[in-house]
Amino acid sequence: MTESENMNKQAVLELLGAVCHLERRRSRTLLHELGLYRARHGILRLLWQEDGVSQTDLTRGSHVKAAAVSKTLQGMEEAGLVERRRDDRDRRVVNVYLTAMGRSLEQQGGKIRPQIAGEALAGLDADELAALESSLTRMRDNLSELVPDDRPARHGRDARRAIGAPRQRSRRPGRGRYIPDDAPHGVAGESEEAC
């Protein structure tokens, strides 16, 4: 690859980053008009598709860590958008249901992503859209081969087993090196950051 080709590829990635940044800003503006945040909107979109799903399924569907989903749901519950109830068949499971207020936002909130897509892609014909989709799909596939999948990370003993690491025992603080059970790959102090 020539230096010029490498620079062009870097420019494309920078442009893609700029487009993503502008999309997030536009989304934030439109959601703010409804009194929503991106995290709440993402959960609402999942519930508009299927109400009454488990909190665990919402975590999987949103590709966000369980603690972040729990905190977001707590705020949504306090705002009157959702309610959480124990499952009748399995009391360990917590299901999330839309309230009337949460359901009422569907008409306006459901239009935000199509609106932004229309605004961002204005002026592109069908062939250009198909080429763009194909290029972005290839980019996603290229990176997907290099990056672990985006399912919630395994922690503790399950993570060590998944990567074939030797068994390690956790120790209590003050008794040698402490490795928390929820540390990825058994390494203290490491954590995944969302971009």
Residue 172 vs residue 9, higher pLDDT: 9
The CA–CA distances, whole Å, from 19 to 93, 111, 157 equal: 39, 20, 40
Task: Give the pLDDT band (50/70/90) at residue 125.
Answer: very high
More confident position, 78 or 152: 78
CA 60 – CA 120 distance, rounded (Å) = 28
More confident residue, 151 or 14: 14
Averaged pLDDT of the chain: 80
Between 83-97, 101-115, 155-169, the lowest mean confidence (pLDDT) is in 155-169
Percentage of the residues of the chain whose pLDDT score is greater than 90: 58
Query: If you average pLDDT over residues 133-152, what whole number do you get?
Result: 83
Spatial contact of 51 and 97, defined as CB atoms under 8 Å apart: yes
Between CA 170 and CA 157 the distance in angstroms is 9
H/E segment holding residue 66 = helix 66-78
Q: What is the pLDDT of residue 74?
A: 95
Q: Confidence class of residue 91 from pLDDT cuts 50, 70 and 90?
A: confident
Residue 141 has pLDDT above 60, yes or no: yes
Domains assigned to the chain: 3-144 (1.10.10.10), 153-195 (no CATH)
Q: Is 99 exposed, middle or buried (0-12, 13-18, 19+ CB in 10 A)?
A: middle
Euclidean distance between CA atoms 26 and 190, whole angstroms: 33
Q: Which helix (H) or strand (E) holds 139?
A: helix 126-144
* pLDDT at position 1: 72
Residues 137, 109, 29: CA angle, nearest 5 degrees: 80
Region 40-55 average pLDDT: 93
